[in-house]
């Protein structure tokens, strides 16, 4: 076993060993809720010790206070759009343009040789394990389509690789009907070689900031942020009006003006608009409380509140929806409020100054666990969730529930994102419709057809199933069995063991891969049985549970300066007492009838009688 990045305490090591013993006989997800949550807490500690690794060979890459002094005191209590100075000591950490890190030692994540890159053929893998079969769309009936849109909305905040001018010329299997008989894909651009180790394990830069700072709305540079703000001193983001409806403004090419507008579709139009409106509502509240403040002061505080609110929604609402397990509901609420709970936190504040277990991660103190903060290539890998997207969206009236239209998703992407609204669908209608439509299950053979035959505005034509497999391979993400070994999980010895006894799937895997050691992590994760209530695999979940808390624990505006001085008394109250339901009802009060009994906005909403029985 590799040396740990940080050393857990004696008591923590003791409980890690206890749960290792228990898990030989009973996996964590079969333990009673609270005991399962405790198991996860110590699993996370172990993951922090062994599964955080820097993308650089030297910590000097993260900058220092001499070469990068904090000259503008504004950013002591405000986010810099490029991510700089989130850590004052390591000012470049998490910035746009910094490398992705790793969850495994770099000697296990080296670039593949030619045979490793193309074996088995990634297009063949896509054809056999991504394409929707004659049985068609496989729904995830415990979620709604808003949950699918939400995770893409968040991913656009977290990561974006640089593309190279060089291309992959992907060999096509015999008889493949891909247009023109040639499939190409731009390679991921490697960072410059800074150390000899970069030759075998290249680093790759993140064009977005790695912080949970809503860069998908505000941008990953100060110049972008300034261009998105109104010209007066109200601190707001620019929005346009079409009658009584608010939309994101467009540039002269028709692209929405927002922090990140790639991979655009109606779901992004909805959520970007919603949280731009939320930002502006926070500005109005702050302007009332602080009438003498400048536009920058209003903007900075509103952004802090809006960012933290999104992190909170993702932690205590989206995650328990897609991972609907009692231990996870306890664990994710504890991530934010601690095991002391929300009620006690709101009554008396933190009862433990530093314990994230007792009083939650926000305000518990920043800790990077021995490794400079970054998002990781393996984190990117486990968030490949294209099966969530259905083939079409059925739109209904939020007022009377009647079916208005059904639009293929392919007609709502890129420049078609506003098509539903141009056809008379209101934003309230769209949110109601997303609330009662199902997303796809994250499993084999559930990629939408259009994603495997996608023409993009930059002139490329691609199969995202092939791209997903190839991206993991070229970036050195280990194959499934090695991925599990490096997480200290037992690797399956046979295809039947991998699939939990599904002989038909096991045979398909055997035909394509031959050797179980060659199974790609994405395909293996889609093939393994999942814990009850889970929307994705336990293998992928190990990366999730580590990185979900790391994004909070490394951020000084969440784990550190979690107080009314940073957020204002009014802003702190706003974010701690607001959930996704409150955001929706603040801007679309006509949704109240649909959300009155909702316990989680990302679970299917109650349908109006006129919607019952309709496809959705």
Q: How far apart are the C-alpha atoms of 111 and 475, rounded to whole Å? A: 6
Residue 145 structure tokens: 């389509």
Q: Is 323 helix (H, G, I), strand (E, B) or coil?
A: strand
Task: Kindly write down the DSSP assignment for every residue of 474-501, as one continuous string.
Answer: HTTPPPHHHHHHHTT-PPPSSHHHHTTT
Burial, 347: exposed, middle or buried (Cβ in 10 Å; 0-12, 13-18, 19+)? Answer: exposed
Q: Which residue has the tokens 């991979």?
A: 263
Q: How far apart are the C-alpha atoms of 186 and 188, rounded to whole Å? A: 7
CB 483 within 8 A of CB 539: yes
DSSP 604: P
Pairing of the two strands 403-408 and 392-396: antiparallel
Strands (E), 397-441: 403-408
Q: Which residue has the tokens 């060993």?
A: 17
592 half-sphere exposure, CB direction, 13 A CA radius: 5
Residue 293 structure tokens: 């403040």
DSSP 165: E
* Active-site residue, selected from the candidate residues 29, 156, 161, 272: 156
229: β partners: 237
Residue 594 structure tokens: 């649909």
Closest among 178, 208, 169 to 470, alpha carbons compared:
169
Q: Which residue has the tokens 């336990």?
A: 538
Dihedral sign for Cα atoms in the order 430, 436, 442, 444? negative
Residues 6+ apart with CB under 8 A from 455: 461
Q: Is 526 a catalytic residue?
A: no
Residues comprising the chain, all counted: 616
Residues 6+ apart with CB under 8 A from 65: 88, 89, 91
Closest among 578, 552, 545 to 319, alpha carbons compared:
545
Question: CB pairs under 8 A, 24+ apart, for 525-532?
Answer: 525/382, 525/480, 526/129, 526/387, 526/442, 526/443, 526/444, 527/129, 527/444, 527/498, 527/499, 527/502, 528/492, 528/498, 528/499, 528/500, 529/499, 529/500, 531/27, 531/29, 531/325, 532/29, 532/325
Neighbours of 292 (CB within 10 A): 6
Residues 6+ apart with CB under 8 A from 582: none
Residue 70 structure tokens: 């904090």
Give the residue numbers marked as catalytic: 156
């Amino acid at each position: 076993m590799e040396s740990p990045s940080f050393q857990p305490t004696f008591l923590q090591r003791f409980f890690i060993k206890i749960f290792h013993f228990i898990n030989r006989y009973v996996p964590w997800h079969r333990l009673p809720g609270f005991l399962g949550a405790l198991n996860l807490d110590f699993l996370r500690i172990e993951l922090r010790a062994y599964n955080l690794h820097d993308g650089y060979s030297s910590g000097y890459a993260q900058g220092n206070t001499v070469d990068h002094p904090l000259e503008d005191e504004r950013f002591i209590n405000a986010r810099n759009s490029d991510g700089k100075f989130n850590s004052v000591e390591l000012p470049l950490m998490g910035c746009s343009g910094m490398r992705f890190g790793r969850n495994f030692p770099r000697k296990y994540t080296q670039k593949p040789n030619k045979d490793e890159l193309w074996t088995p053929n990634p297009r063949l893998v896509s054809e056999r394990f991504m394409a929707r079969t004659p049985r068609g769309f496989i729904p995830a009936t415990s979620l709604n389509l808003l949950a699918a849109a939400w995770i893409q909305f968040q991913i656009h905040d977290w990561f974006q690789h640089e593309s190279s001018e060089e291309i992959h010329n992907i060999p096509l299997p015999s008889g493949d009907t891909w247009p023109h008989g040639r499939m190409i894909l731009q390679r991921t651009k490697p960072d410059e070689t800074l150390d000899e180790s970069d030759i075998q394990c290249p680093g790759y830069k993140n064009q977005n900031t790695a912080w949970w700072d809503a860069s998908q709305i505000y941008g990953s540079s100060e110049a972008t942020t300034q261009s998105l703000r109104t010209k007066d001193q109200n601190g707001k983001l620019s929005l346009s009006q079409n009658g009584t409806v608010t939309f994101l403004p467009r540039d002269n090419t028709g692209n929405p003006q927002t922090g990140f507008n790639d991979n655009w579709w109606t779901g992004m139009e909805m959520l970007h608009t919603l949280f731009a409106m939320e930002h502006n509502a926070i500005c109005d509240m702050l302007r009332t409380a602080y009438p003498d403040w400048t536009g920058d002061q209003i903007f900075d505080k509103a952004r802090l509140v809006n960012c933290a609110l999104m992190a909170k929604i993702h932690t205590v609402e989206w995650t328990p929806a897609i991972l609907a397990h009692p231990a996870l509901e306890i664990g994710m609420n504890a991530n934010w409020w601690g095991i002391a709970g929300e009620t006690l936190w709101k009554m008396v504040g933190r009862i433990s100054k530093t314990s994230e277990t007792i009083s939650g991660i926000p305000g518990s103190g920043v800790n990077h666990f021995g490794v400079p903060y970054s998002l990781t290539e393996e984190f990117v890998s486990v968030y490949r969730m294209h099966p969530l997207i259905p083939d079409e969206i059925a739109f209904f009236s939020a007022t009377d529930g009647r079916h208005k239209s059904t639009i293929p998703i392919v007609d709502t992407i890129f420049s078609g994102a506003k098509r539903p609204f141009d056809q008379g669908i209101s934003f309230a209608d769209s949110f109601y419709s997303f609330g009662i439509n199902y997303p796809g299950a994250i499993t084999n053979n559930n990629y939408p057809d259009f994603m495997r035959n996608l023409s993009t505005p930059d002139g490329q034509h691609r199969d995202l199933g092939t791209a997903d497999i190839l991206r993991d391979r070229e970036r050195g993400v280990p194959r499934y069995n090695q991925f599990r070994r490096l997480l200290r999980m037992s690797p399956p010895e046979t295809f039947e063991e991998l699939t939990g006894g599904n002989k038909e799937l096991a045979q398909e895997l055997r035909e394509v891969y031959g050797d179980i050691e060659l199974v790609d992590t994405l395909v293996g994760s889609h093939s393994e049985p999942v814990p009850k209530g889970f929307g994705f695999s336990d293998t992928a979940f190990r990366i999730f549970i580590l990185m979900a808390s790391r994004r909070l624990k490394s951020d000084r505006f969440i784990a550190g300066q979690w107080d009314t001085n940073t957020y204002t008394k009014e802003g702190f109250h706003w974010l701690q007492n607001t959930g996704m339901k409150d955001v929706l009802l603040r801007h679309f009060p006509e949704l109240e009838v649909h959300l009155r009994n909702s316990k989680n906005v990302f679970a299917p909403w109650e349908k109006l009688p006129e919607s019952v029985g309709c496809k959705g």
